[in-house]
Amino acid sequence: MANTFSDNIASAPGGAYSASYRRDSSKSHARLRKKRMVLTTGAIITAGDTSVMGTFKSGDRLYDLRLSTSVGTTAGNVDIGLYKAPFDHIPVAANEIDADLFSDALSVITTLDRAEALTQDGVIEDWQRGLTLWEMADHGPAATYAVDPMEDWDLVITHNATTNAVQVYLLEADYVAIG
């Protein structure tokens, strides 16, 4: 009978047990944090507008991302992704990591009640929950990260259609931050 071990017991998933292996504290005995990010829009959001919702460290482990809205609009969908956080936190193309890493054209035409936003696009799959943000970014088209760049990254909503109603967006993130 063969024995295999998870990354909480072995240095690599499926690897051999080692009594001297030191566990990664972000995977075992970590404390889950919640970040609540609220945005109230004006009556009109124009296609291409962006909303910076929150800042995370590239090494944070994201487990869940949920979007809720207060009302529906006649048109509207959003992308949710990551940008490098510049000093003024204005998301410009030069700082884009992946604008739709988590959600791509997520409809906000109807009222949303904690809609799944982490895996909606299909780039991040359920089994990848809990990876660090830089590891998640490495699964997108900008797969350029081999190590943690140790940067601040902004979670950004990009509005893809002009809307006609005041909306309240609530974005909830469950994550583990070390440090």
Domains of the chain with CATH codes: 1-30 (no CATH), 33-176 (2.60.120)
Largest separation between any pair of C-alpha atoms in the chain: 64
Q: Are the C-beta atoms of residues 82 and 149 closer than 8 Å to each other?
A: no
**How confident is the prediction along the chain (179 residues), in pLDDT tens digits per residue?**
677 776 667 666 666 666 666 666 665 667 899 999 999 987 778 899 999 999 999 999 999 999 999 988 877 899 999 999 999 999 999 999 999 999 999 999 889 999 999 999 899 999 999 999 999 999 877 678 889 999 999 999 999 988 888 889 999 999 999 76
Q: Is the backbone of residue 137 left (phi > 0), alpha (psi -120 to 50) or beta?
A: alpha
pLDDT score, position 24: 62
Q: Are the C-beta atoms of residues 103 and 117 closer than 8 Å to each other?
A: yes
SS3 96: strand
| Among candidate residues 138, 171, 161, 178, the one with its CA nearest the CA of residue 44 | 161
Distance from C-alpha of 83 to C-alpha of 72, rounded to nearest angstrom = 27
Q: Are the C-beta atoms of residues 87 and 101 closer than 8 Å to each other?
A: no
| Among candidate residues 59, 159, 12, the one with its CA nearest the CA of residue 99 | 159
Verdict on whether the full-model pTM lies above 0.95: no
